[in-house]
Structure 1
Amino acid sequence: MTDHYVIIGITIAALILFASEIIRADFIAIFVALILMILGYVTVNEGFSGFSNPAVITVIAMFILSSGLVRTGVADYVAKLILKFGGKSAILLTFMVMISVGSMSAFMNNIGAVAILIPTLFIISENLKYPINKLLIPLSFGSLLGGLVTLIGTPPNLLISILLEDNGFSGFKMFDFAPTGLVILVIGLLYMIFIGRYLIPVRERDNQLTKQFRLNNYLSEVTLPESSKYVNKTIQDCKIHDDLGITILRIQRNIDGKTEIIDPKPDIILLPNDKLIVEGNISKLIDNQNDKHIQLTTSRKFSDNDLTDNEIELSEAVVSNNSHLIGRSIVENDIHKLYGVIVLALKRGIRTVVEGFQNMPVEAGDVFLVQGKRESITNLALSPDFTVVNRLEHDPRNLKKAPLALIIMILTILSAALGLLHISVAGILGALIMTLTGCVKIEDIYNNVEWRVIFLIAGMMPLGIAMDNNHTGTAQWLANIVVSQVGDYGPLVMLGTIFIFTTIITQIMSNAAATLLIGPIALAISSGFGLQPYPFMMAVAISASTSFLTPISHQANMLVYGVGNYKFMDFIRVGGPLILIILIISLILIPIIWPFKPL
């Protein structure tokens, strides 16, 4: 009995840490695995077995295969279809967005599918004068719904299938999810077209990025008098940033009677009478202007035009989910040196941070307001670290390899669907062929895998092992309690109970972690009823992917959250009814397609 309480205590502690986001989710998962090994609930081999689990291997392979479809331009073709056919009406546009991203997400990483389409939707929004926030939630939700259609569409599907195999049952096949997944996708699409998009409040984005990021209170114009200690020194050497906490954005210099704009590179020498547009705390500038080193120009309102010209641009850049910048600050990453741009402000969810953000650890989904030369912004768009809105530039595509990449992906899917190879073997073989044929660069293989997801899944797997009957039996103990309370109402009510509970916890932790937590319990519950586990496990897989209630429940939501100018309640308002609809559909469809059969 004590062991049960310890395992439940570890689980609750992990849930609290997942919800608080104090520690990264992958770190929490590894801590869980280590604690279970230290306390002796799993052996060392069992504690690290997640890294060799077929589900983890398959997820790694899918990341590589997805990158092959992106690099060869197969995924870009979908974006072109939306541009071509999506501009007729709001209904058609919403349909094209959701059906396109849903189709992509059924066979590739849904986060990558969302990231590819974001710039396209911004351009469509601008051309049609249609609010961008009416498109980005359908984009994110469409990617989650599309993942329900196939075995490889989302990690919960794979994890549930492997869990069945580990317990002596046949795993789900490639298209076993399609009968329920396709219906849910279509119903979800109709909901967003006729109901959901009307629940999204229209919040017009200000065309002026300086206003949108609330920069006006932090922008000033100063002049350097001849007596200034900052003149005749380079920007880097004069320490003006250290002294005054300001960042120089533009230099206006009088040369032969003409005003010239100078790019504020670190090696540029400041001269007397230079006028500087700077970003920083104005009150600190006022306090320092008495020392004769700066003269603060009369306060005025700045616009984007004050920070741009024919060569210099302002842009919004969203930090990608697999960006190598995550976890380190802007200063530590030295983004100015790396990309030649200045980060003026940061938007994280509904928070806009203009002061002190340079030392905050970068997170996936952060939106940077950046200033730089056109070629620097283009390089930023080409980087895998960022998605730059309003820019369709991307790293060069190997279009000649597109047919080959598509064929490899199709053969990988067919070999698994026909039972010729296990999905993990088919996936790794397909990834290897993609690499050897040049569809994926060898040096990019490891960069294309979201290792945080891999460590999260592998770290949480020992918890399921510790809960099985060969160890503490906690899963069966919990299942017996649940069955004793709800069992008299029948398996259908139990199915709904599992669905609702999984839906709740997947809003505060990753869908993979939720699956690994609830999967063993659902398996034990089916055993308690004396029924085959398939309908219960299908309910876990579907409900684990209903990450619609909060922006933090899935990385796809995080990508659109800040850049879409959403509020937290927008996801509850739109996602809540959708979850209720999916629950009702699931309770009708699952028992029909996967009837309650005795063991």
Structure 2
Amino acid sequence: MNVDLVIVVALLIASIAMFAIGRPRMDVVAVLMIVALPLTGVLTVSETLAGFADPNVVLIAALFVVGEGLSRTGVTYRLGDWLGRTAGASEARVIVLLMLCVALLGAVMSSTGVVAIFIPVALSVAARTGVSKRQLLMPLSFAGLISGTLTLIATTPNLVIDAELVRSGNEGFGFFSPTPFGLVILALAIGYILIARRWLGEDVDSGGGARRTFDLLLSDYGVDARTHRYRVGAASPLIGCRLADVDLGAGRPARVLVLEQRRLVRRSVLTTADDARVRSGDVLVVDVALDAARRGALELTEGPRGDDNVFAKHARQLGMAEVMIAPESYARGRSVVSLRFAQRYDLVVLGVRHKGTAAGAVFPSIRLATGDTLLVTGGWNAIQRLRTSPDGYVLLDLPVEVDEVAPAANQAPFAIASVLLMVVLMVTGVVPNVIAALIACLLMGAFRCIDMPSAYRAIHWPTLLLIVGMLPFALALERTGGVDLVVDGLLGAVGDAGPTVLLAVLFALTATIGLFVSNTATAVLMAPIAITTATELGASPLPFAMIIALAASCAFMTPVSSPVNTLVVEPGRYRFGDFFRVGAPFTVIVLVVSVVLVPPVLPLY
């Protein structure tokens, strides 16, 4: 072992130790390695920094932006709604459906991008169903990794290994070569995770009290008890009326709080659009009950609670917040009517708590006092503007629904079309994957699914730094003779035991290296070892290369084994040991299954 190899191995061990103890942060460790490797003289500065120009790094960054576009348009949350409705209260069904969706979509897209897209979906489902997010995000990363075993283009390691096969003069993989193995592994993973998820425990409390929901706020202010929903019938005289001119003839002012209309393929809500015209099929939310004589062609629908709650149903467009009257507030001593909230702040007041008690239907005429609170609704942007108003309002903690705001909800069809085009371009290979992803980003920007500030915020820079910092290790180990040393040692130790044992050893070696470096770097390192080993034995390189591909995608044991794992660390509050505790047993299962299945499907000779 030469001095250069000793230095590189020492740096690798040092980075592993820092990853294991969690100090400093993983991205800081990556930067330390970027600084240290050129100082060894093994790699030049350009070679060490080459990861910043790596197409796969740019691809991952672009897919973060695509995922944010799907979130901003509400697509991911709607998928989460579908998963929640379909799974019901069954935790097992939630996990099965989530893993299937991620794995199948990941078969034609970057697994890292898919996981980035589905993290908000998983968090949304966890919030709605009560399932621990720790028990959802780890299965999410498992499914993302396993998706790499379903098609050739599903993950970068597959492409790296295929390129090495072709470079060495062998036949490469077909598009569906990994699929038979991937389907078996996916089925095993779903069964395994349904048992192993209990080892992850419950969510880690990040501090702070529980935030309130729309339903709780509506109940606290008595809004649920006094508001009613009416659908406009085809013969209603209200059709064509301006919202501001609607007269329900209730004997006292009957305010239309919300107008729900269908626009294109989805329903939209309006609160302060006085010029909006009422149409057949619209839904009016009003604050009085209308008797049959006054109702006319208005059809009473379900009340504000339940699945048809218009406020909760449109929470990604329609905001809600509590506002407290400060001592110096402009509103002190005035009534809600005189404040003209809709005209001044583009918000509708739903109710008032006066001196600690819900004021009921008479709240518009009550003189407001210091400490009184208003429940307001309207666009989330209008609510945020109220925070900076000079009129002396204190915006209290926003409800939990703010976490699922979809500011570009009307652009959802364009976001879906952009993603579908990207997938088609990737599957057909008309353009490189990174160009396909960048085209999707540009289309989302053009259709206002995402803006530049949110695009920059969407990119998870620590993940990119981690990938860039670890990639140079593969080149450094190859250049210092580490690869040749491994091949010689492998053949000397188990070369006489037969190809099946060699397959098992190669899988175990790949999985072990994957404990410390990314699966892409592991594939770069192990592909030439596997192909050279097969050549020395006179065997077909395909099963040996496939073993490396399967092992590289089984990077379950550490948070640094794959960007997929790194993505879920923070939202799941996982520790290094969580991955090893759940991932190590399953890696052994996959090893056994792979060694049994690969030789019959891809003959050794």
Instruction: Report the TM-score range of the alignment, normalised by the length of the smaller protein.
Output: 0.5 to 0.7
* SS of corresponding position for 2:471: helix
Counterpart in the other structure of 1:344: none
1:475–1:524: 8 Å Cα contact kept in structure 2? no
Give the root-mean-square deviation of aligned CA atoms: 4.6
What TM-score comes out, normalization by structure 2 length? 0.59
Q: What CA distance in whole angstroms lies between the structure 2 residues aligned with 1:553 and 1:433?
A: 32
1:407 aligns with 2:420: yes
In the superposition, the TM-score normalised over structure 1's length comes to: 0.59
**Equivalent AA in structure 2 for residue 496 of structure 1:** A
SS of the counterpart of 1:48? helix
Structure 2 CA distance for partners of 1:28 and 1:512, relative to 1, 3 Å: farther
Distance 1:50 1:204 in 2: 35
Structure 2, unpaired ranges of 5+? 212-322, 330-371, 376-383, 388-393
Change (3 A) 1:40 1:202: closer
The 1:10/1:164 distance shift into structure 2, 3 A limit, reads: farther
Amino acid at match of 1:412: L
482-491 or 518-527: bigger deviation = 518-527
Task: Give 1:120's aligned residue.
Answer: 124
Shift of 1:548: 3.7
Find the counterpart in structure 1 of residue 497 from structure 2: 489
Task: Map 1:89-128 to 2 at 5 A.
Answer: 89-106=90-107, 107=109, 109-126=113-130
Distance verdict in 2 for CA 1:210–1:377, change over 3 Å: closer
Who is 2:52 aligned against? 51
Percent identity, please. 29
Tell me what 1:236 maps to: none
Whether the 8 Å contact between 1:476 and 1:525 is mirrored in structure 2 is no
- Please give the alpha-carbon distance, in whole angstroms, between the structure 1 residues aligned to 2:26 and 2:93: 38
The secondary structure found in structure 2 opposite 1:41 is coil
Q: Which of the pair has more CA radius of gyration?
A: 2
How far the C-alpha of 1:566 sits from its partner, in A, is 7.7
Q: Does the C-alpha gap of structure 1 residues 454 and 137 become closer, same or farther in structure 2, counting only changes over 3 Å?
A: closer
Matched with 1:25 is 26
Q: Who is 2:41 aligned against?
A: 40
In 1, Cα distance between equivalents of 2:405 and 2:75: 15
Letter in 1 for 2:467: I
Q: Which residue number corresponds to residue 454 of structure 1?
A: 464
Query: Can you list the C-alpha shifts for 1:306-356, whole angstroms capped at 9, x where unaligned?
Result: xxx9789xxxxxxxxxxxxxxxxxxxxxxxx9998xxxxxxxxxxxxxxxx
Describe the superposition over 1:463-486 as per-residue Cα deviations: whole angstroms up to 9, x where unpaired: 333344xx4332112211122112
Q: Deviations over 1:376-415 (max 9, x none)?
A: 8665x2xxxxxxxxxx434433213144224312322222
- With over 3 angstroms needed to count, the CA separation of the structure-2 counterparts of 1:511 and 1:263, relative to structure 1, is farther
Contact 2:325 2:373 in 1 (8 A): no
Question: What is the 5 A alignment of 1:123-138?
Answer: 123-126=127-130, 135-138=136-139
Q: Deviations over 1:135-193 (max 9, x none)?
A: 45434433333343345544444544455566666765654433322221122113334
Distance 1:11 1:530 in 2: 33
2:552 maps to what in 1? 544
After TM superposition, list the pairs within 5 Å mapping 1:439-478 onto structure 2: 439-468=449-478, 471-478=479-486
Instruction: State how far apart, in whole Å, the 1-side matches of 2:551 and 2:444 are.
Output: 33
C-alpha deviations, 1:242-285, integer Å up to 9, x for none? xxxxxxxxxxxxxxxxxxx97999x99xxxxxxxxxxxxxxxxx
Instruction: Work out the CA distance in 1 between the residues paired with 2:453 and 2:592.
Output: 47
Report the alpha carbon displacement of residue 86 of structure 1 after superposing the two structures with TM.
0.4
Give the letter aligned to residue 47 of structure 2. E
**Cα offset for 1:586?**
1.6
The 10-residue stretch of structure 1 (9-18 or 169-178) with the greater mean CA deviation from structure 2: 169-178
- Structure 1 unaligned residues grouped into runs of 5+: 213-260, 269-308, 313-336, 341-370, 382-391
Aligned partner of 1:373 in structure 2 is: 396
Matched, 1:146 2:147: yes
Partner residue, 1:388 = none
Matches within 5 A, 1:248-327: none
Matched residue, 1:581 = 589
Residue 85 of structure 1, CA deviation: 1.0
The one-letter code matched in structure 2 to 1:10 is: L
Q: Give the aligned partner of residue 78 of structure 1.
A: 79
Q: Deviations over 1:106-161 (max 9, x none)?
A: 435244244222333334434xxx66665454344333333433455444445444
In 2: Cα distance, 1:426 partner to 1:61 partner: 9
Whether the aligned pair in 2 keeps the contact of 1:160 and 1:519 (CA below 8 Å) is yes
Distance 1:170 1:75, change over 3 A: farther
2:357 aligned residue: none
Does residue 181 of the first structure (1) align with residue 185 of the second (2)?
no
CA 1:21–1:527 in 2, change beyond 3 Å: closer, same or farther?
farther
Residues 20, 576 of structure 2: 8 Å contact kept: no
The size of the alignment, in residue pairs, is 436
Residue 394 to residue 533, structure 1, CA distance change in 2 (3 Å): farther
CA distance in 2, matches of 1:26, 1:567: 15
Distance 2:549 2:326 in 1: 53
CA distance in 2, matches of 1:425, 1:412: 9
Cα contact 2:199–2:582 (8 A) shared by 1: yes
Is the 8 Å Cα contact of residues 491 and 533 (structure 2) preserved in structure 1?
yes
- 8 Å Cα contact 1:75-1:104 kept in structure 2: no
Residues 496-538 of structure 1: CA deviation (Å, up to 9, x unaligned): 2222233334345544454455455445544544555443343
1:500 aligns with 2:508: yes
Q: Determine if contact 1:549/1:572 at 8 Å carries over to the other structure.
A: yes
**CA separation in 2, counterparts of 1:201 and 1:456?**
25
Shift of 1:209: 6.0
Deviation at 1:584, TM superposition (A): 1.8
CA distance in 1, matches of 2:161, 2:512: 18
